[in-house]
Amino acid sequence: MKIKVINNKTKSSQEYKWTGEAYLVGRTDTCHIFINDQEVSSIHGMITVREGKIEYIDLNSTNGSHINNLALSKMQSYILQEGDAIKICDYFISVEDYDNCQSKKNDICWWNQGDLTVECVRIINETPTTKTFVLVGKMPVLFNYQPGQFIILNLEIEGQKIQRPYSISSSPSRPHTIEITVKRVTEGLVSNWLHNNIKVGAKLELSGCYGDFTCGLKPTSKLLFISAGSGITPMMSMSRWLLEAGLDVDIIFIHSASSPDEIIFRQELEMMAMKYHNFHLSVTVTRKKPGQTWLGYSGRLNQAILQLMVPDLGSRTAYICGADGFMATVKTQLQNLGLPMQNYYEESFGGSKIAENQYNTVPVAEPIITSSVVVFAKSGKEIAYDGEEVIQSLANKHGVSIKRSCGSGVCGICKSTILSGEVKYIKEPKALDSSDRKQKLCLTCIAQPVGKVTIDA
C-alpha cells in the first residue's frame, strides 16, 4: 500500500510505503508523514487501520481536516472509502492500492492500565533542573487516560527495585505519546537517576494509569488551577486537554516557582495565555537570583494576592497541587476567602508526616501490649513494630512489595486487604469509600498497626 501526498500549490507529490500501522501526519519531523508547512499542526492527524478498515483521525489540529470537502470533527475517526482524499491546508492525502489493506488488521491498541514497556523518543529541557521525557510504547499503543492522572515507573537502580509515581504532563488529546516531567531533587534517588541515565532510545517499565485528580470527566465552566514547583504537571495536562478540545471553560492558572528560570513550561504557558482568551495566567516567584529580571508577582501566595488573581473565587472549582505545606496554606487561604470546600480538590507531591489527629477505621481502645506486629501473609514475614512508621514503609524496608504513590492516602494505589486485626490512620483516608471498608481494605501509606495485624501482601 502507498500513501500519496500532493502539494496543491506546487503540484509536487511524495509517496510513502505503508503497511497499515498507525501513521502520524504533521510538521514535526518525528511524524511518519512530514509536511513542512506552518499552517499544518505539529501533530495534525493519524491514518491507521482498525478491523480491516482505513481510518483517519484529526488529532485536535489548529486548522482542521477535510475529507471530500467535508470538515471533520476533532478526535473522531472517519472510515475512508476508495477514492477519498484527505485535505490538510494546501495538501491532499490519499491511500493507494486500497484493496490490499482490507484483510489487514491493525495491531495498535488503546492502553490505559497494566504494565507497559515504553521507549524515550525525546527529552525536553524545561528548566535547568527539570526535564520532560516523551515516551512511546515499545509495541504500538495509543495512550488513553484522564488529564491529571499519573503513572508509576518500575525501575531497578543499583540492584534495588524501586517504584515512583509521576503525573502525566501531556494531554490525552495527543494519544500517540505520553510525557512525564521530572524535576531534579537534590537528594532524590529516582529524579537524579532519570536525569543522569535516561537518553533517547532508553527503555522504561511503567504501570498505570492511576488517580482521581482530574477535571476530565465533568469539567465545570470556571476552573482554578494552583500549583507549586513540579506540582504544575497535572495542571498542564488538564489545561492542554481543555484548550485543545475547545471546551467552553474559563481557566485561571496560578503557579508558584522558586525563581524565574525555574518556571516549568514558561514559554508554552505564555503562548497559551496569548492564544486563548479563556486562559488567565499568573505566576509568582519566591526569590530572584542576582541579575535576574522579573516584573511579575514576587513572594509566596497570600490572601491579598489570591484575591487580586481570583476575584470570582466563590464560583470556581479549585485544583491544587504541590508539597503538603504549600497545599495546607493555600487551602486555608481559599477557605478564608470563601471558596466552597466541596469545590476543592488536591494532589499531594509530598510525603506523609505523622499528624496530630489520627483517623481510625473503627474506635480503638488503648492497646495493652507495648508493641505491635505486622504479618505479611503472601511474603511469609512477621515483623515487630514499635515506632511511628506506616505499614507501607515497613513493608518496603523488609522487601515486601506494596505499590506506592502519593504517600497521603488520596490516590488509593497502595490499598491492601486486612486479613485480621485493625489499623489506625495518621491522616484522613480519603481514598477509602464504604465499599472498601466493607472489603477490609486499608491504605498502607498512612496506616499503622494496632496490636497484631495481618496484611495480604
Query: How far apart, in whole angstroms, are the C-alpha atoms of residue 29 and residue 177?
Result: 15
CATH fold, domain 2-96, is Tumour Suppressor Smad4 (2.60.200)
* Long-range pairs of 124-127 with CB within 8 A, sequence gap ≥ 24: 126/181, 126/264, 126/265, 127/183, 127/261, 127/262, 127/263, 127/264, 127/266
CATH superfamily of the domain spanning 372-455: Beta-grasp domain (3.10.20.30)
Question: Among all chains, which residue has been given the C-alpha cell 515483623?
Answer: 383
Residues with Cβ within 8 Å of 175's Cβ and at least 6 positions away in sequence, in order, are 59, 110, 142, 143, 144
CATH code, residues 109-210 = 2.40.30.10
pTM strictly above 0.85: no
Q: What is the mean pLDDT of the chain?
A: 85
| H/E stretch holding 399 | none
Summarised one tens digit per residue, pLDDT across range 2-52 is 889 999 889 899 988 876 677 889 888 778 899 999 999 888 988 887 766
pLDDT at 51: 64
What are the tens digits of pLDDT across the range 332-375? Answer: 999 999 999 999 998 876 543 333 333 344 333 343 344 689 99
Q: What is residue 386's predicted lDDT score, i.e. its pLDDT? A: 73
Name which of 96-105, 173-182, 215-224 the model is least confident about: 96-105
What class does CATH assign to 222-348?
A: alpha beta
Phi, psi of 305 (to 5 degrees): -65, -45
| Residue ranges of domains in the chain | 2-96, 109-210, 222-348, 372-455
Of the candidates 419, 404, 415, the one whose C-alpha atom is nearest the C-alpha of residue 455 is 419
